[in-house]
Chain A
Amino acid sequence: MRAARPVLAALAALVFGTGACAAEMRPPPGASSCTGCHAEGAAMGRLEGRSEAEIVAALDAFRSGTRPATLMNRIAKGFDAQESRAIAAWFAAQGAR
């Protein structure tokens, strides 16, 4: 989770949303695109509330090709380890609300 900057902290409590744009805190780069596919009830399931470790492991496995995929392998390769971790932490935190 990224460190709260002063202004961000002031706004953080006020910024809410659903699915697409859920943002108690500013979503890390890339996270807002994931929910274009991953949602409650979709074939590509909801990411909010999954553990950080589980999302990071899945992205690693997609990136390295050890986990079969029609698509996620191509997407995961666009995110390095640090970016993936930030996204994973953010989704994990969203679900814990």
Chain B
Amino acid sequence: MRGTPSVSRRTILGGAAAVALARPALGGTPPRVVVVGAGFGGATAARCLAAGGVDVTLVEASERYVACTGSNAVVIGLRGIEAQTFRHDALGRAGLRFVRATAEAVDPAARRVRLGDGTVLAYDRLILSPGIELRFDAVPGYDAGAAEAMPHAWKAGEQTVRLARQLAAMPEGGTVVLSAPANPYRCPPGPYERASLIAHFLKTRKPRAKLILLDAKDTFSKQRLFEAAWAKLYPDVLEHVPLAGGGQVSEVDPAAMIVRTDFAEYKADVACIIPPQRAGRIAALAGCADRSGWCPIDPATFESRLVPGIHVIGDAAIAGAMPKSAFSANAQGKVCAQAVIDLLAGREPESPLLINTCWSLVAPGYGISVAGVFRPTDGLLADVPGAGGISPLDAPDAVRQQEAAYAESWYRTITRDVFG
């Protein structure tokens, strides 16, 4: 079952005529899809739709994309922020319409999106991949202003650089306080990778300094692997305070650099507060977020359970057992695009299978991973039983090193896939 082998792929992708030809011809105007957010989820979905010949407009607010994946290495100066920064130029050449604007409102009844400059885009299907909004109302004392003194660095960019500078300038023997939120949030193992790498930095660069990890939960992703590595590598540097030990942050005082729990007060030289989160604002404005702040979806098509015609992918979605990761967002973008192509063609989407894998570095050259395979089950994306899981606890150093190398390779592959 082959296409048109005499025509090169480049011609087909690049030619406007080919795009017109490839539109699912259902009579009348060809169906239009609007995608909001050119991050890992949205850019992937838009590319796939364009490759499928669909008329797609990709709306992105930011001038550049700064990837969070790998940004914990930036925090400790192992790489520069430039290595995380991607332009959207290639997306504009991928057979789609790229619009630099903020989507400000959605009218689901009229199927229209309004942009910041007043432009109105009509859609047959809308895909939202807006990522997260940080909840500056959740931790008393922690608002956008406080994030200057106590960076979250949970949206990569200026915040990441700020935290890196503060760590570099910290005195020997100082104290770093890092707080991890309750579930769900972007990148479940992320705070623990960050804790590990900061501990590595302190151990090698800041004699006698300490890291206190205040945690709003008792269990976390890859826990046994992290804890085993911490016991081996950072026994005198890293102290983890779980929820049961009083780890939930109750208040911060950025002027005094104090982080409080119900039980103790921590004076920090550097404080990184990762606050609770919710789906990116446009998802709520479109009516797709429920009271949790996240968006319930159909697990086969990612169509909103609340608003027909709108699909939500990536961090913003409630994807069952699938974690909020760039890997998931990319995998979901592909599956959602295929489902949208099917729906536009009046065809029943297949029940999908999706993979997620998240590597974390616990030290340079020491990688661990968690993987899962997911399928719709009882209305949610659930783990395929028997698959997935974490790296072996007893793996030799060579395996940890190989996992670190695979993590780096994946980062290059995925960013090329999405932005390249």
Contact = CB atoms under 8 A, between A and B. Distances in A.
B331 A44 contact: no
Interface residues of B, number: 61
A91 to B, nearest CB: 14
Interface in A14-57: 14-30, 32-37, 39, 42-44
Given A18-B51, A20-B48, A74-B371, A37 B345 contact: no
B2 interface: yes
Contacts of B350: 26, 28-29
Q: How large is the interface on A (under 10, 10 to 19, 20 to 34, 35 or more residues)?
A: 35 or more
Interface string B336-353: 011001100111001111
B33 to A, nearest CB: 14
Given A7-B346, A74-B388, A79 B52 contact: no
A26 B338 contact: yes
Nearest to A78: B373
A33 B417 CA distance: 12
Interface string B309-341: 000000000000000000100110011011001
B364 interface: no
Given A33-B354, A70-B402, A74-B371, A19 B417 contact: yes
Interface of B: 1-5, 9, 12-13, 21-22, 24, 44, 47-48, 51-53, 327, 330-331, 334-335, 337-338, 341-342, 345-347, 350-355, 357, 369, 371-373, 375, 384, 386-389, 391, 395, 399, 402-403, 405-406, 409-410, 412-414, 416-418
Contacts of B337: 21
A16 B338 contact: no
A29 B355 CA distance: 10
A78 B61 CA distance: 37
A74 B414 CA distance: 20
Nearest to B4: A13
Contacts of B47: 17, 20-21
Contact of A30 (B5, B355, B416): B355
Contacts of B413: 36-37, 39, 42, 44
Given A11-B345, A12-B1, A36-B414, A70 B351 contact: no
Contacts, number: 166
B331 A32 contact: yes
B123 to A, nearest CB: 20
A25 B403 CA distance: 33
Contacts of B347: 5, 7-8
A21 B352 contact: no
Given A70-B403, A71-B371, A15 B53 contact: yes
A77 B387 contact: yes
B372 to A, nearest CB: 8
A39 B413 CA distance: 7
Contact of B330 (A12, A14, A20, A78): A20
Contact of A15 (B51, B387, B403): B51
29 contacts: A8-B347, A11-B24, A15-B51, A15-B341, A16-B3, A16-B13, A18-B51, A19-B417, A20-B47, A20-B417, A21-B47, A21-B338, A24-B1, A24-B2, A29-B352, A29-B375, A33-B353, A36-B417, A37-B409, A37-B410, A39-B417, A44-B406, A70-B399, A70-B403, A74-B387, A75-B387, A77-B386, A78-B372, A83-B353
Contacts of B395: 70
B341 to A, nearest CB: 7
Contacts of B351: 29
Nearest to B403: A70
Contacts of B53: 14-16
A1 interface: yes
Given A15-B51, A44-B410, A97-B9, 14 more contacts: A9-B1, A16-B9, A19-B417, A20-B48, A21-B44, A21-B47, A21-B337, A29-B351, A36-B330, A36-B331, A42-B409, A75-B371, A77-B373, A78-B355
B320 to A, nearest CB: 15
Contacts of B335: 32
B51 A78 contact: no
A81 interface: no
A17 B354 contact: no
